[in-house]
Amino acid sequence: LAAVAAAPVACAKVEPARDFQDARERIQSRLDGAETFDPATEALVEQKVRGMLEGGLSVDEAVSVALLNNRAFQALFQSIGAARADVVQSGLLTNPSVGLTARFPEGGGRSNISFSFAQQIADLWLIPIRKDVAEARLEETIAGVVRQAVELAASVRKAYYDLSTIRRREAIARENLQLVRRSIEIAQKRMEGGESAAIDVNLLRAAEVNVQATLLTLERDRHVAKADLARIIGMARWDAAWDIADTEDPVVRMIPTDQALTMLAMRQRLEARIAEFNVRAAEGEVRRQQRSVFSSVQLGLEGERLETRALPGRKIAADTLRSSIRQGQPTAPDIQSRGERAIDRSQIIDMLLGPSIQFTLPVWDQNQAQIAKASYQLEASRKTYEDTLDEIANQVQRAAAVVRASASLMEFYKSTALPTATRNLELAQGAYEGGEQNVLAVIQAQEFLMTQRQTAMRIRQDYLSAWVELNRALGGKDPPHNVETVAAPQSPTPARPVMPTGATSN
């Protein structure tokens, strides 16, 4: 028994390095090889981040910076170490107990000493289940960290695209300002030639003021958006000299059907894996409670050294006198030989030693309540798993609908709305310059073109945000061009545990 107890001690060391590596590899496989925080190389984080900032931060580099530098994400890796510690703890035997008692005779003599050694052996059938539960929780924790990495990457991309769109809107506002100033030049020439009144110039200057106010508002929004991005990627306290790289217009892509996307999400979404691990842990808890009917069984060894009364002192002269009187002549008292004394001592019980067993009798409490509780929690975890699948399907369908609608709008504005608005302004300016139209036609055409440009930018932002949401809904990966349709995963439904008396299963 002592050897069994000592066996786990040699390996009772918490080493989560392989779990950290596992989490990093899973994150990189989902996020196209993005750099990820490693507790073992934390000192190199700043050097890596500064290297990515050179030349402007791309969206993929921004994701890597966040995965390296975001403090909240770094803290999640410590939860993996804690979960590994729980796995190690689940495989350890309960410490043995040792007892020692000494009792001293009131009249003197040898004391009574008893001792005991006991080891809890219920661990022998509980440890395998405890380890299964702890390992399921560890897998759940790792999957949770990977899921948070996907969520963080989505948040970074959205913040990055928001900042990028605001910068594009600023550029468009400057182009709009040039359009208005071009119209002002035309109006001034007509006024100088006596072909129009000063009111035309003033009306156009009012439009110029509106565009300048829009530029100031966009500049404010750009600073706020950059601060938001800096917070997400862990650079809120860094020098603000860094900036993002210039981005191109997104390429409109066709996406598979909702059914194909949903099946893909079912395979890739970590929420489904986490819910599945939760079901596994709940199943293990039911088995643990069923085996805990005998919650305490101790096997041990007990011993006792018996006490002995001290012999009174012997008076040799008195004993000699009594022996002489009995014999009628001088006689020495009776004295035991060494052999006789050895025989007498061998007949005295000096020590008691033997095995012991102690266990709790399940008379009043047979653990029915805890078994029932674990069974209900298992059923709840199965329902939660099903609900998670429904939520994943809903998120995929919503994101796909927005992607398709935004793609159609982008194509419409690129091919029809913007060219039409640009042509209208050119015609209005030409007609005004030739005296065929008044300045109101130019102002209306300008406002229409500026509105269409800003709307096109919002649609671009909506399209990029929709792709971020679709990427998130698919578990961190963009949909491939061909997605096979497979059966949807079902809730884990192993044999249901036997419900105790008084408990029912719905």
Average pLDDT over residues 10-21: 81
Measured torsion, CA atoms of residues 462, 219, 187, 444, in degrees rounded to the nearest 10: 30
In this model, does residue 299 exceed pLDDT 70?
Answer: yes
Higher pLDDT, 476 or 333: 476
**Residues sharing a CB contact under 8 Å with residue 202, sequence separation 6 or more, in sequence order:** none
Average pLDDT over residues 34-50: 87
Percentage, residues of the chain above pLDDT 90:
23
Tell me the average pLDDT of the chain: 82
Q: Which domains does the chain have, with CATH numbers?
A: 2-309+350-473 (1.20.1600.10)
Whether 38 contacts 24, CB under 8 Å: yes
In this model, does residue 487 exceed pLDDT 70?
Answer: no
DSSP annotation string for 16-77 = -HHHHHHHHHHHHHHTTT-----GGGGGGHHHHHHHHHTT-B-HHHHHHHHHHH-HHHHHHH
In this model, does residue 164 exceed pLDDT 70?
Answer: yes
What pLDDT does 284 receive? 87
For residue 246, count other CB atoms closer than 10 A to its CB.
Answer: 11
In this model, does residue 1 exceed pLDDT 70?
Answer: no
Confidence of residue 486 (pLDDT cuts 50, 70, 90): very low
Q: How far apart are CA 92 and CA 130, in angstroms?
A: 10
What pLDDT does 314 receive? 57
Average pLDDT over residues 151-155: 93
**CA–CA distances in Å: residue 372 to residues 100, 139, 258, 278, 365:** 41, 26, 40, 18, 13
Sequence-ordered strand ranges (E) for 306-438: 308-309, 351-359
Average pLDDT over residues 331-343: 66
Q: How far apart are CA 183 and CA 196, in angstroms?
A: 13
In the block, tokens 């055409």 appear at 445
In this model, does residue 270 exceed pLDDT 90?
Answer: no
| Identity of the highest mean pLDDT range in 114-128, 160-174, 266-280 | 160-174
What pLDDT does 230 receive? 93
pTM of the model: 0.74
What pLDDT does 129 receive? 85
Our measurement of the distance from residue 183's CA atom to the centroid of its chain's CA atoms, rounded to an integer in Å, reads 57
Structure tokens at 13: 């060391």
The angle, 0 to 180 degrees and rounded to 10, between the axes of the packed helices 270-291 and 123-192 is 160
